[in-house]
Amino acid sequence: MIAAARSAEAAGFDSFWVMDHLYAPGAPQFDALESWTLLSAIASSTTTIRLGHLVGCNPFRHPSLIAKMAATLDQISGGRLELGLGWGSVDDEFAMFGFDVGTRQERAEQLGETIDILRLMFSGEPFDYPGKHFQLSGAYGRPTPQQETIPIHIGGGGKRLTMPLVAKHADWWNCVASARPRFNELAPLSGAAKISVQYPVGVVTDEATRAKVAERSARRMPESGWGPALIGTTDELTARFASEADRGVKLAIVRFHDRADPDTIDLFGRDVISALRE
């Protein structure tokens, strides 16, 4: 993971994102690193690339602890944290690991209160918070983050629970890959938030490998969970991402078919990112 982040930084990527799960949902059993600890290690091993979760699972931690962790990581990284949060949609994970998290409606309400508390904690000033789900008295956050404002990303695609939170609280709406087919319907609900989108990407280096790249993409990122993959040469991908920018997407989050092979990271940075910046 550290090597991938360093490769992405060298290739010109703006940001590097990790999951926040106690296991990998829908995948075979394998090591799943704790995300905040992992980002701290990556922060100390990189210098410019921005770092975050897509997205942090709010029910795992009390808001005051999230605020403390976020401010600490922002200090460690020199002001490079992007704070991604969601209300937690993998119900099996909560049952598996013994979290009593309430209903989805309650979790969405808790996320809204968490963001209120985070911003109060980040001010460094004492405050009281008499919320429905969280009550704080005389609390304060020190140290404060290095950034004047840590950008808050809310991820998801639910019209009833997620998008109202985005419009009210978020600096960024992260459209998860599975919600991309509904982008035109959801984007107007994001309010003033900037838009980022997750994309499963297969990079074709030779026409003879196109079918194999498509097959690996489908196996690693099934369309049922990730939506249609972007499969193409670097020229084709450049054109596709340019068209996504025309739709209002400010940040593209890519997940590669080959688990981010260093050569793929380098090629994508050299031929796609540089072309888009030009």
Give the span between the Cα atoms of 74 and 8, in whole angstroms: 19
CB 180 within 8 A of CB 221: no
What radius of gyration, in Å, describes the C-alpha atoms of the chain? 19
- Amino acid (1-letter code) at residue 197: V
96 is written with which tokens? 């598996």
Q: What does the pLDDT read at residue 90?
A: 87
**For the structural domain made of 2-150, what CATH number should be given?**
3.20.20.30
Question: Residue 11 in 3-state DSSP?
Answer: helix
Phi-psi region of 121 (alpha: psi -120 to 50; beta: other; left: phi over 0): alpha
Question: Residue 89 in 3-state DSSP?
Answer: coil
DSSP annotation string for 160-198: TTHHHHHHHH-SEEEE-GGGGGGHHHHGGGGTT-EEEEE
Domain spans of the chain, in order of start: 2-150
- Whether a cis peptide bond, with omega within 30° of 0, leads into 188 is no
- Amino acid (1-letter code) at residue 247: R
Q: What does the pLDDT read at residue 25?
A: 81
Whole-structure pTM value: 0.94
The pLDDT averaged over each successive group of 10 residues in the chain (278 residues) is 96 97 82 95 98 96 98 98 93 91 94 98 98 98 96 95 97 95 96 97 95 94 90 97 96 94 96 95
Question: Which residues, in sequence order, are CB contacts of 132 under 8 Å at separation 6+?
Answer: 109, 113
Q: What does the pLDDT read at residue 27?
A: 72
